[in-house]
């Protein structure tokens, strides 16, 4: 067989011989290349597919935990909205908290107003200015607000130490109250 190929090549002109030999060399090179690369990288192995699946499962559980945390926050938000009366007098509630914590005399201004709200909840707020208030009564007052059964939040607070009495503070506070609208 090799002799037949040799005789065939010898009968051809030199230019054709070189083209045929070069073509055979390129074909052998591509066949060897395909065999080597095909064997060394047969595609994703079972181990890498398993690792990929485990990584996706871990990511899924992470996202699921975030969803559960957000869902419980929304449920708590809804519970607090529905618990707060729609006709809540925020001014009276804050006045009672101030009386209980002994800071009623330091209140310079209490300015109630309606907030923005949405179709699902209504918002109202009271802006308060307090002067010459000691730190401990202020903290008790803020704890009363945050621990209230109603859905109340301190949304703005500015605290400045008094220049004439360094142990007292001047405070500006905005307290918001939220309640669910009827029919939601």
Q: What is the CATH number of the domain that holds 113?
A: 3.30.70.60
Whether residue 143 has pLDDT greater than 90: yes
Q: Is residue 171 part of a domain?
A: yes
Q: In terms of domains, do 98 and 24 share one? A: no
Q: Is residue 73 part of a domain?
A: no
- Which position has the token pair 């926050």? 73
Q: In terms of domains, do 31 and 113 share one? A: no
The count of structural domains within the chain is 2
Structure tokens at 65: 């935990």
Does residue 126 sit in helix, strand or coil? strand
Q: What is the rounded average pLDDT of the residues 28-50?
A: 73
- Rounded to the nearest 5 percent, the helix, strand and coil shares of the chain are 55, 25, 20
Which structural domain, as residue segments, surrounds residue 13? 2-40
Q: In terms of domains, do 95 and 173 share one? A: yes
Q: In terms of domains, do 21 and 100 share one? A: no
pTM for this one? 0.59
pLDDT, tens only, 64-102 = 999 999 999 888 888 888 877 777 888 888 999 999 999
Q: What is the rounded average pLDDT of the residues 108-116?
A: 84
Q: Is residue 48 part of a domain?
A: no
Q: Is residue 7 part of a domain?
A: yes
**What pLDDT score does 41 carry?**
56
Whether residue 173 has pLDDT greater than 90: yes
Q: 14 or 68: whose pLDDT is higher?
A: 68
**What pLDDT score does 122 carry?**
84
Q: In terms of domains, do 165 and 94 share one? A: yes
Computed over every residue of the chain, the mean pLDDT equals 85
Q: Is residue 65 part of a domain?
A: no
């Amino acid at each position: 067989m090799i002799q037949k190929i040799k005789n065939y090549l010898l009968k051809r002109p030199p230019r054709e011989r070189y083209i045929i030999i070069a073509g055979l060399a390129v074909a052998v090179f591509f066949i060897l290349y395909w065999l080597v690369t095909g064997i060394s990288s047969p595609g994703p192995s079972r181990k890498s597919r398993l690792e990929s699946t485990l990584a996706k499962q871990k990511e899924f559980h992470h996202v699921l935990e975030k969803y559960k945390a957000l869902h419980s926050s929304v449920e708590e938000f809804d519970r607090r909205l529905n618990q707060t009366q729609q006709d809540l007098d925020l001014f009276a509630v804050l006045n009672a908290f101030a009386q209980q914590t002994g800071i009623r005399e330091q209140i310079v201004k209490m300015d109630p107003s309606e907030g923005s709200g949405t179709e699902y909840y209504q918002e109202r707020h009271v802006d308060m200015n307090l002067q010459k208030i000691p730190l401990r009564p202020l903290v008790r007052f803020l704890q009363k607000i945050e621990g209230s059964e109603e859905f109340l939040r301190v949304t703005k607070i500015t605290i400045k130490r008094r220049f004439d009495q360094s142990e007292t503070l001047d405070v500006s506070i905005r307290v918001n109250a939220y309640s669910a609208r009827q029919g939601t």
